[in-house]
A = this chain, B = another copy of it.
Amino acid sequence: MIEPIQDFYAVIPAGGIGSRLWPLSRADAPKFLHDLTGSGHSLLRDTWDRLEPLAGPDRIAVVTGRAHRAAVEAELPGIDDLNVFLESEPRESAAAIGLAAAILHRRDPEVIIGSFSADHVIRGTQVFEWAVQQAVQVAREGYICTIGIPPTEPSVGFGYIRKAGELVVDGAPEAALVERFVEKPDLETAKEYVADRSYLWNAGMFIAKASVLLGELAANEPELYAGLSELAEAWDDRERRGPAVDRIWPKLKKIAIDYAVAEPAAERGRLAVIPGHFDWDDVGDFASLTKLITHGRKNDLAVLGPNARVLSDAASGILVSQTNRVISLVGVQDIVVVDTPDALLVTTVEHAQRVKGVVESLKLTGQGDVL
Protein backbone atom coordinates (compact mmCIF):
# COMPACT_ATOMS: atom_id res chain seq x y z
CA MET A 1 0.00 0.00 0.00
CA ILE A 2 1.22 3.48 -0.90
CA GLU A 3 0.45 6.73 0.88
CA PRO A 4 -1.69 9.30 -0.94
CA ILE A 5 0.34 12.10 -2.51
CA GLN A 6 -0.22 15.16 -0.28
CA ASP A 7 -0.78 17.94 -2.81
CA PHE A 8 -2.38 15.75 -5.47
CA TYR A 9 -5.97 15.72 -6.68
CA ALA A 10 -7.27 13.21 -9.22
CA VAL A 11 -9.81 14.36 -11.81
CA ILE A 12 -11.93 11.93 -13.78
CA PRO A 13 -13.70 13.42 -16.81
CA ALA A 14 -16.64 11.07 -17.35
CA GLY A 15 -18.12 12.43 -20.51
CA GLY A 16 -17.98 10.42 -23.73
CA ILE A 17 -20.78 8.07 -24.67
CA GLY A 18 -18.54 5.73 -26.63
CA SER A 19 -20.50 5.77 -29.88
CA ARG A 20 -18.44 3.05 -31.50
CA LEU A 21 -19.63 0.71 -28.76
CA TRP A 22 -23.31 1.22 -29.63
CA PRO A 23 -25.73 -0.38 -28.79
CA LEU A 24 -23.88 -1.35 -25.64
CA SER A 25 -23.02 2.28 -24.91
CA ARG A 26 -25.95 4.68 -24.93
CA ALA A 27 -26.64 8.28 -24.10
CA ASP A 28 -28.13 7.13 -20.80
CA ALA A 29 -25.63 4.31 -20.28
CA PRO A 30 -22.30 5.63 -21.52
CA LYS A 31 -19.24 3.46 -21.81
CA PHE A 32 -17.80 4.45 -18.43
CA LEU A 33 -20.79 2.94 -16.63
CA HIS A 34 -20.21 -0.51 -18.17
CA ASP A 35 -18.22 -3.44 -16.94
CA LEU A 36 -16.24 -4.19 -20.09
CA THR A 37 -13.60 -6.38 -18.51
CA GLY A 38 -15.71 -8.76 -16.50
CA SER A 39 -14.20 -7.28 -13.33
CA GLY A 40 -17.64 -6.95 -11.81
CA HIS A 41 -17.21 -3.16 -11.73
CA SER A 42 -17.82 -0.36 -14.17
CA LEU A 43 -14.84 1.24 -15.89
CA LEU A 44 -15.56 4.38 -13.84
CA ARG A 45 -15.34 2.42 -10.62
CA ASP A 46 -12.15 0.69 -11.77
CA THR A 47 -10.71 4.15 -12.49
CA TRP A 48 -11.67 5.37 -9.04
CA ASP A 49 -10.17 2.28 -7.39
CA ARG A 50 -6.94 2.83 -9.31
CA LEU A 51 -6.69 6.48 -8.24
CA GLU A 52 -7.76 6.17 -4.62
CA PRO A 53 -4.35 4.96 -3.32
CA LEU A 54 -2.67 7.90 -5.10
CA ALA A 55 -5.05 10.70 -4.13
CA GLY A 56 -7.11 9.43 -1.22
CA PRO A 57 -10.89 9.06 -1.38
CA ASP A 58 -11.60 12.70 -0.54
CA ARG A 59 -9.43 14.05 -3.34
CA ILE A 60 -10.94 12.51 -6.44
CA ALA A 61 -13.24 14.71 -8.53
CA VAL A 62 -15.53 13.56 -11.30
CA VAL A 63 -16.67 15.86 -14.10
CA THR A 64 -19.82 14.48 -15.69
CA GLY A 65 -23.18 15.40 -17.18
CA ARG A 66 -26.10 16.30 -14.96
CA ALA A 67 -27.95 13.32 -16.47
CA HIS A 68 -25.34 10.93 -15.07
CA ARG A 69 -25.20 12.28 -11.55
CA ALA A 70 -27.25 9.53 -9.94
CA ALA A 71 -25.45 6.75 -11.81
CA VAL A 72 -22.03 8.18 -10.95
CA GLU A 73 -22.91 8.54 -7.28
CA ALA A 74 -24.27 4.98 -7.23
CA GLU A 75 -21.01 3.68 -8.72
CA LEU A 76 -18.88 5.76 -6.36
CA PRO A 77 -20.58 5.72 -2.97
CA GLY A 78 -17.41 7.13 -1.37
CA ILE A 79 -17.39 10.33 -3.42
CA ASP A 80 -17.77 13.66 -1.65
CA ASP A 81 -20.64 15.71 -3.04
CA LEU A 82 -18.20 18.62 -3.33
CA ASN A 83 -16.17 16.61 -5.81
CA VAL A 84 -18.93 15.99 -8.36
CA PHE A 85 -18.72 18.70 -11.01
CA LEU A 86 -21.82 18.63 -13.20
CA GLU A 87 -21.91 19.86 -16.79
CA SER A 88 -25.22 21.00 -18.21
CA GLU A 89 -24.15 19.61 -21.60
CA PRO A 90 -20.98 18.12 -23.15
CA ARG A 91 -18.33 20.75 -24.01
CA GLU A 92 -15.27 18.56 -24.72
CA SER A 93 -12.23 17.88 -22.61
CA ALA A 94 -10.63 21.34 -22.33
CA ALA A 95 -13.77 22.72 -20.69
CA ALA A 96 -14.27 19.66 -18.48
CA ILE A 97 -10.70 19.41 -17.20
CA GLY A 98 -10.33 23.19 -17.15
CA LEU A 99 -13.42 23.48 -14.95
CA ALA A 100 -11.98 21.01 -12.47
CA ALA A 101 -8.64 22.83 -12.54
CA ALA A 102 -10.30 26.19 -11.95
CA ILE A 103 -12.45 24.98 -9.06
CA LEU A 104 -9.66 23.04 -7.35
CA HIS A 105 -7.23 25.93 -7.84
CA ARG A 106 -9.59 28.26 -6.01
CA ARG A 107 -9.79 25.77 -3.16
CA ASP A 108 -6.00 25.22 -3.07
CA PRO A 109 -3.75 27.37 -5.29
CA GLU A 110 -0.87 24.90 -4.97
CA VAL A 111 -2.80 21.79 -5.97
CA ILE A 112 -1.44 19.39 -8.57
CA ILE A 113 -4.15 17.73 -10.59
CA GLY A 114 -4.02 14.57 -12.64
CA SER A 115 -6.70 13.89 -15.22
CA PHE A 116 -7.55 10.28 -16.15
CA SER A 117 -10.33 9.15 -18.47
CA ALA A 118 -13.22 7.34 -16.84
CA ASP A 119 -13.45 4.70 -19.54
CA HIS A 120 -9.99 3.34 -20.21
CA VAL A 121 -8.72 -0.05 -19.12
CA ILE A 122 -5.41 -0.35 -17.30
CA ARG A 123 -3.72 -3.47 -15.97
CA GLY A 124 -0.69 -3.24 -13.73
CA THR A 125 -1.51 -1.15 -10.68
CA GLN A 126 1.96 -0.72 -9.25
CA VAL A 127 3.49 0.32 -12.53
CA PHE A 128 0.64 2.78 -13.02
CA GLU A 129 1.23 4.24 -9.56
CA TRP A 130 4.94 4.57 -10.23
CA ALA A 131 4.23 6.46 -13.45
CA VAL A 132 1.85 8.87 -11.71
CA GLN A 133 4.28 9.41 -8.85
CA GLN A 134 6.97 10.35 -11.34
CA ALA A 135 4.57 12.59 -13.28
CA VAL A 136 3.68 14.45 -10.09
CA GLN A 137 7.39 15.08 -9.44
CA VAL A 138 7.68 16.50 -12.96
CA ALA A 139 4.54 18.61 -12.45
CA ARG A 140 6.04 20.07 -9.28
CA GLU A 141 8.78 21.50 -11.51
CA GLY A 142 6.15 23.47 -13.41
CA TYR A 143 5.77 21.18 -16.41
CA ILE A 144 2.60 19.70 -17.75
CA CYS A 145 3.30 15.99 -17.69
CA THR A 146 1.57 13.31 -19.65
CA ILE A 147 1.91 9.55 -19.38
CA GLY A 148 2.57 7.89 -22.73
CA ILE A 149 2.28 4.19 -23.48
CA PRO A 150 5.13 2.42 -25.32
CA PRO A 151 3.31 1.01 -28.36
CA THR A 152 3.01 -2.77 -28.59
CA GLU A 153 1.73 -2.68 -32.18
CA PRO A 154 1.30 -0.16 -35.02
CA SER A 155 -2.14 1.04 -33.95
CA VAL A 156 -3.89 3.53 -36.22
CA GLY A 157 -6.53 4.15 -33.58
CA PHE A 158 -4.41 6.22 -31.20
CA GLY A 159 -2.53 9.49 -31.36
CA TYR A 160 1.22 9.41 -30.71
CA ILE A 161 3.62 11.51 -28.64
CA ARG A 162 7.19 12.02 -29.82
CA LYS A 163 9.75 12.21 -27.06
CA ALA A 164 12.56 14.73 -27.22
CA GLY A 165 15.55 14.68 -24.87
CA GLU A 166 15.64 13.45 -21.31
CA LEU A 167 14.42 15.68 -18.55
CA VAL A 168 16.33 15.56 -15.28
CA VAL A 169 13.85 15.64 -12.41
CA ASP A 170 14.42 14.19 -8.98
CA GLY A 171 12.18 11.18 -8.35
CA ALA A 172 11.27 10.88 -12.03
CA PRO A 173 14.07 8.87 -13.65
CA GLU A 174 12.04 8.16 -16.78
CA ALA A 175 10.99 11.74 -17.51
CA ALA A 176 11.50 13.14 -20.99
CA LEU A 177 10.46 16.27 -22.80
CA VAL A 178 7.84 16.00 -25.51
CA GLU A 179 8.76 17.20 -28.97
CA ARG A 180 5.26 17.05 -30.43
CA PHE A 181 1.89 15.38 -30.59
CA VAL A 182 0.94 13.37 -33.68
CA GLU A 183 -2.60 12.65 -34.85
CA LYS A 184 -3.70 9.07 -35.58
CA PRO A 185 -1.31 7.92 -38.33
CA ASP A 186 -1.81 5.58 -41.27
CA LEU A 187 -0.51 2.02 -40.92
CA GLU A 188 2.84 2.61 -42.63
CA THR A 189 3.57 5.62 -40.47
CA ALA A 190 2.44 3.76 -37.37
CA LYS A 191 4.92 0.98 -38.20
CA GLU A 192 7.71 3.53 -38.44
CA TYR A 193 6.69 5.00 -35.09
CA VAL A 194 6.79 1.61 -33.40
CA ALA A 195 10.24 0.84 -34.88
CA ASP A 196 11.53 4.30 -33.92
CA ARG A 197 10.95 3.77 -30.16
CA SER A 198 10.77 7.51 -29.49
CA TYR A 199 6.99 7.46 -30.00
CA LEU A 200 4.46 6.69 -27.32
CA TRP A 201 0.68 6.35 -27.45
CA ASN A 202 -1.22 9.37 -26.21
CA ALA A 203 -3.36 7.94 -23.43
CA GLY A 204 -4.98 11.26 -22.55
CA MET A 205 -3.46 11.52 -19.08
CA PHE A 206 -2.31 14.95 -17.94
CA ILE A 207 -0.67 15.81 -14.63
CA ALA A 208 0.11 19.45 -13.80
CA LYS A 209 -0.21 22.15 -11.21
CA ALA A 210 -3.69 23.55 -11.68
CA SER A 211 -2.09 26.99 -11.91
CA VAL A 212 0.17 25.87 -14.76
CA LEU A 213 -2.65 24.24 -16.66
CA LEU A 214 -4.82 27.32 -16.24
CA GLY A 215 -1.91 29.48 -17.35
CA GLU A 216 -1.69 27.53 -20.61
CA LEU A 217 -5.45 27.87 -21.08
CA ALA A 218 -5.29 31.60 -20.41
CA ALA A 219 -2.54 31.99 -23.01
CA ASN A 220 -4.12 29.80 -25.71
CA GLU A 221 -7.87 30.06 -25.13
CA PRO A 222 -8.45 33.27 -23.18
CA GLU A 223 -12.24 33.25 -23.57
CA LEU A 224 -12.54 29.70 -22.39
CA TYR A 225 -10.25 30.56 -19.48
CA ALA A 226 -12.34 33.58 -18.57
CA GLY A 227 -15.56 31.57 -18.60
CA LEU A 228 -14.08 28.83 -16.47
CA SER A 229 -12.69 31.35 -13.97
CA GLU A 230 -16.06 32.99 -13.63
CA LEU A 231 -17.68 29.61 -13.11
CA ALA A 232 -15.10 28.58 -10.53
CA GLU A 233 -15.59 31.81 -8.61
CA ALA A 234 -19.32 31.07 -8.26
CA TRP A 235 -18.97 27.31 -7.85
CA ASP A 236 -18.77 26.83 -4.09
CA ASP A 237 -21.72 29.14 -3.48
CA ARG A 238 -24.63 26.75 -3.92
CA GLU A 239 -27.07 29.49 -4.83
CA ARG A 240 -24.89 30.97 -7.52
CA ARG A 241 -23.52 27.76 -9.02
CA GLY A 242 -26.57 26.54 -11.00
CA PRO A 243 -27.38 29.87 -12.65
CA ALA A 244 -23.69 30.37 -13.49
CA VAL A 245 -23.50 26.98 -15.19
CA ASP A 246 -26.67 27.66 -17.15
CA ARG A 247 -25.39 31.03 -18.27
CA ILE A 248 -21.71 30.35 -18.98
CA TRP A 249 -21.23 26.65 -19.73
CA PRO A 250 -23.18 26.37 -23.01
CA LYS A 251 -21.11 29.20 -24.50
CA LEU A 252 -17.72 27.68 -23.77
CA LYS A 253 -15.59 26.67 -26.73
CA LYS A 254 -15.60 22.98 -27.55
CA ILE A 255 -11.99 21.98 -27.89
CA ALA A 256 -9.90 19.00 -26.86
CA ILE A 257 -7.34 19.59 -24.14
CA ASP A 258 -4.70 18.23 -26.51
CA TYR A 259 -5.15 21.30 -28.73
CA ALA A 260 -5.93 23.87 -26.04
CA VAL A 261 -3.15 22.92 -23.64
CA ALA A 262 -0.87 20.03 -24.51
CA GLU A 263 0.29 20.88 -28.02
CA PRO A 264 1.03 24.55 -27.31
CA ALA A 265 2.90 23.50 -24.17
CA ALA A 266 4.91 20.98 -26.19
CA GLU A 267 5.87 23.67 -28.67
CA ARG A 268 7.28 25.75 -25.87
CA GLY A 269 9.16 22.86 -24.29
CA ARG A 270 6.84 22.76 -21.29
CA LEU A 271 5.31 19.35 -21.87
CA ALA A 272 6.97 16.31 -20.36
CA VAL A 273 6.17 12.62 -20.56
CA ILE A 274 6.63 9.58 -18.37
CA PRO A 275 6.40 6.24 -20.13
CA GLY A 276 3.70 4.03 -18.65
CA HIS A 277 4.78 0.41 -18.74
CA PHE A 278 1.35 -0.91 -17.92
CA ASP A 279 -1.28 -2.46 -20.19
CA TRP A 280 -3.56 0.29 -21.42
CA ASP A 281 -6.45 0.38 -23.82
CA ASP A 282 -9.08 2.99 -24.53
CA VAL A 283 -11.47 0.21 -25.63
CA GLY A 284 -12.61 2.49 -28.41
CA ASP A 285 -14.53 -0.04 -30.44
CA PHE A 286 -15.60 -3.67 -30.52
CA ALA A 287 -12.34 -4.74 -32.17
CA SER A 288 -10.36 -3.48 -29.23
CA LEU A 289 -12.91 -4.84 -26.75
CA THR A 290 -12.66 -8.27 -28.41
CA LYS A 291 -8.90 -8.21 -28.20
CA LEU A 292 -9.03 -7.12 -24.59
CA ILE A 293 -11.31 -9.96 -23.52
CA THR A 294 -9.77 -12.73 -25.64
CA HIS A 295 -6.24 -11.49 -24.86
CA GLY A 296 -5.67 -11.50 -28.59
CA ARG A 297 -6.45 -15.19 -29.12
CA LYS A 298 -7.88 -15.19 -32.64
CA ASN A 299 -10.22 -18.17 -32.42
CA ASP A 300 -11.89 -17.29 -29.14
CA LEU A 301 -15.41 -16.05 -28.72
CA ALA A 302 -15.51 -13.37 -26.05
CA VAL A 303 -18.79 -13.30 -24.16
CA LEU A 304 -19.81 -10.30 -22.14
CA GLY A 305 -22.97 -10.48 -20.06
CA PRO A 306 -23.58 -12.22 -16.76
CA ASN A 307 -26.76 -13.95 -17.92
CA ALA A 308 -25.65 -14.90 -21.44
CA ARG A 309 -27.21 -18.13 -22.77
CA VAL A 310 -24.89 -18.93 -25.65
CA LEU A 311 -24.68 -21.87 -28.00
CA SER A 312 -21.77 -21.41 -30.35
CA ASP A 313 -20.32 -23.68 -32.99
CA ALA A 314 -17.20 -22.60 -34.86
CA ALA A 315 -17.70 -18.97 -33.87
CA SER A 316 -15.14 -16.35 -32.88
CA GLY A 317 -15.24 -12.67 -32.08
CA ILE A 318 -17.41 -11.08 -29.43
CA LEU A 319 -20.91 -11.51 -28.12
CA VAL A 320 -22.42 -8.95 -25.78
CA SER A 321 -25.63 -10.20 -24.22
CA GLN A 322 -27.84 -7.86 -22.25
CA THR A 323 -30.97 -9.97 -22.57
CA ASN A 324 -31.74 -13.46 -21.33
CA ARG A 325 -32.37 -14.75 -24.85
CA VAL A 326 -30.73 -17.88 -26.17
CA ILE A 327 -28.12 -16.78 -28.69
CA SER A 328 -26.72 -19.22 -31.18
CA LEU A 329 -23.69 -18.36 -33.29
CA VAL A 330 -22.83 -20.87 -35.99
CA GLY A 331 -19.84 -20.72 -38.32
CA VAL A 332 -19.25 -16.97 -37.98
CA GLN A 333 -15.66 -15.80 -37.61
CA ASP A 334 -14.53 -12.52 -36.03
CA ILE A 335 -18.17 -11.64 -35.56
CA VAL A 336 -19.50 -8.85 -33.36
CA VAL A 337 -22.99 -9.43 -31.95
CA VAL A 338 -24.42 -6.98 -29.43
CA ASP A 339 -27.80 -8.01 -28.14
CA THR A 340 -29.71 -5.44 -26.09
CA PRO A 341 -33.41 -5.19 -25.27
CA ASP A 342 -34.18 -2.61 -27.94
CA ALA A 343 -31.33 -2.85 -30.44
CA LEU A 344 -29.18 -5.50 -32.06
CA LEU A 345 -25.88 -5.00 -33.84
CA VAL A 346 -24.24 -7.59 -36.06
CA THR A 347 -20.94 -6.68 -37.63
CA THR A 348 -17.36 -7.95 -37.73
CA VAL A 349 -14.19 -7.03 -35.89
CA GLU A 350 -12.86 -5.70 -39.19
CA HIS A 351 -15.76 -3.26 -39.52
CA ALA A 352 -15.89 -2.20 -35.87
CA GLN A 353 -14.97 1.40 -36.71
CA ARG A 354 -18.07 1.73 -38.90
CA VAL A 355 -20.39 1.51 -35.92
CA LYS A 356 -20.02 5.24 -35.40
CA GLY A 357 -21.63 5.66 -38.82
CA VAL A 358 -24.58 3.58 -37.66
CA VAL A 359 -25.11 5.94 -34.78
CA GLU A 360 -25.00 8.91 -37.16
CA SER A 361 -27.51 7.20 -39.44
CA LEU A 362 -29.86 6.47 -36.57
CA LYS A 363 -29.79 10.15 -35.64
CA LEU A 364 -30.44 11.22 -39.20
CA THR A 365 -33.32 8.78 -39.65
CA GLY A 366 -35.13 9.84 -36.49
CA GLN A 367 -34.37 6.67 -34.57
CA GLY A 368 -32.70 8.42 -31.68
CA ASP A 369 -34.84 6.43 -29.27
CA VAL A 370 -32.21 3.67 -29.33
CA LEU A 371 -29.16 5.93 -28.96
Contacts and interface: CB of A to CB of B under 8 A. Distances in A.
Interface of A: 23, 309, 311, 313-314, 325-332, 335, 337, 339-348, 350-351, 354-355, 357-358, 361-362, 365, 367, 370
Contacts of A337: 344, 346
Nearest to A330: B347
Q: How many subunits of this chain does the assembly comprise? A: 2
A335 B331 CA distance: 10
Contacts of A313: 354, 357-358, 361
B331 A351 contact: yes
B343 A331 contact: no
B328 A345 contact: yes
Contact of A335 (B345, B346, B350, B365): B346
A313 B365 CA distance: 14
Contact of A344 (B331, B344, B370): B344
B332 A346 contact: yes
Interface centre among A326, A335, A347 (most CB of B within 10 A): A326
Contact of A367 (B309, B335, B341, B365): B309
Nearest to A321: B344
Contact of A311 (B311, B314, B350, B358): B358
Contacts of A367: 309, 311, 326
Contact of A325 (B326, B330, B342, B361): B342
Which 7 pairs from chain A and chain B are nearest by CB? Answer: A331-B351, A330-B347, A326-B343, A326-B370, A327-B344, A328-B358, A328-B345
